[in-house]
Amino acid sequence: MNTLKSSSLLMAASLLMCGSAVQAADLIVWSGNGAKAAVVTLCKQFEQATGTKVAVHFEVNPEVQRKLEGGEAFDVVVGNPPTVDALIKSGKVVPGSSKDFGRSGLAVAVRSGTPKPDVSSVDAFKRVLLASKAVAFPGEGASGRYFVSVVERVGLADAMKSKLKPMPANGTVEVVARGEADMVVVVATRLTDVLGIDIVGPIPAEVQTWIGFAAGLSAATKQPDAAKALIAFMSGPSAAATLKAKGVDPL
């Protein structure tokens, strides 16, 4: 058993000892797409260690908020901090339960086997954007909105109008793998474990931003002990190696 797996299981096992409810519960998690790979892996580790079944559903953050405020059942929500804060204000998430566990910047990827462009400076990034025929990005969500603002800030709004390709969350990166866009700009975590792409690297530091990830407890959960244990597991020290492996900078 490798060090990452053993430390994760040890953490979950210690949480299990806090109460038998953790072992017996089935949990529903709604999560934004940003930290998808990390959330999937951490939930599987938690399941393996505790016997708790975790059903995870993914959408863009605005859709997660709409669904939960509309009455969708959940025990834990994972999303950008503003999304979790909004759910606290609407009474869907317990105040004080939110735990920030990581962040990630925006990055660029191209189809596997194609030359990796230079995006190390703002000028280089601008040249790459202008040379592209189609640039994919999330049509909804924090990273997509921010990328559009970057295009405007660097003075390319008009030049890129016909080249920008807003995509649904589940297809943002995959269109590049299929050759339907030259490149994609999205939160770096979204590029993890996607076949058919090569990660170029982060966008220039001068125009970079950080997308945060947080987890919060449902105000209506019937499994509070298990849900709290999962949040503690995801935000605890033993999760750091998994988060890093999946493109998340742990806090």
Instruction: List, for residues 193-223, the tens digit of each pLDDT value.
Output: 899 999 999 999 999 999 999 999 999 999 9
The domain tally of the chain equals 2
- Do 239 and 219 share a structural domain? yes
Same domain membership, residue 161 and residue 83:
no
Q: In the structure encoding, which two tokens stand for residue 11, read together? A: 């953490």
Do 91 and 113 lie in one domain? The reply is: no
| CATH code of the domain containing 43 | 3.40.190.10
Are 219 and 201 found together in one domain?
no
Token readout for 155 is 């003075």
The residue whose two tokens read 């969500």 is 141
pTM above threshold 0.85: no
**Do 96 and 113 sit in the same domain of this protein?**
no
Instruction: Give the span between the Cα atoms of 233 and 136, in whole angstroms.
Output: 34
| Residues 74 and 27 occupy one common structural domain | yes
pLDDT of 21 higher than 60: no
Judged against a pLDDT cut of 80, whether residue 169 lies above it is answered with no
pLDDT grade for 141, boundaries at 50, 70 and 90: confident
Mean pLDDT (the chain) is: 90
* 96 and 180 in a common domain: no
For residues 10 and 130, membership in a common domain is answered with no
> Residue 124's pLDDT is what?
98
Residue 11 reports pLDDT greater than 90: no
Phi-psi region of 71 (alpha: psi -120 to 50; beta: other; left: phi over 0): left
Grouping H, G, I as helix, E, B as strand and the rest as coil, residue 63 is helix
- Residue 117 and residue 57 share a domain: no
At residue 18, the pLDDT reads: 43
Region of poorest pLDDT, from 7-11, 20-24, 178-182:
20-24
Q: Which residues contact 181 (CB under 8 A, 6 or more apart)?
A: 132, 134, 135, 136, 165, 175
| Positive or negative torsion for Cα 132, 134, 136, 142 | positive
> Which residue segment(s) compose the domain that 152 sits in?
106-207
pLDDT band at 10 (very low <50, low <70, confident <90, very high): low
Same domain, yes or no, for 128 and 179? yes
